[in-house]
Amino acid sequence: MSETAAPDVDFERDAQRERLARDLQAIVSEAEALLKATAGATGAGTSELRSKVQASLDRASKHLAELRGAALERARAAGRATDQYVHDKPWQAIGAAAVVGVLVGLLISRR
């Protein structure tokens, strides 16, 4: 496996986690809205169903918070790794920044 394959796999996995977190957040929001809309509903099994839905929402919210915490930790780790790289190889970092600056300048000047 090449050296660039692992970061690509990590990036794809992180992107999938982000999509999962967004989807989970949407489901939680919709379920909460449904619970509020049916707050006055009565009938056989309604309170039991509401309790089950609320428990599921609580679990989903907890899982979502864990996903966000993991994403935040990955971002912090990436920041630390970048900082370490810049300290270890300052001239390469300066060169990379210069190349990016030139490319951005070229793109802006074409418009």
Average pLDDT over residues 35-61: 77
pLDDT at site 4:
46
Which structural domain range is residue 40 located in? 5-110
- Looking at the 3D structure of the chain, how many domains does it have? 1
Question: Dihedral, CA atoms, 41, 49, 33, 14, nearest 10 degrees?
Answer: -170
> Rounded to a whole number, what is the largest CA-CA distance in the chain?
72
| pTM > 0.75: yes or no | no
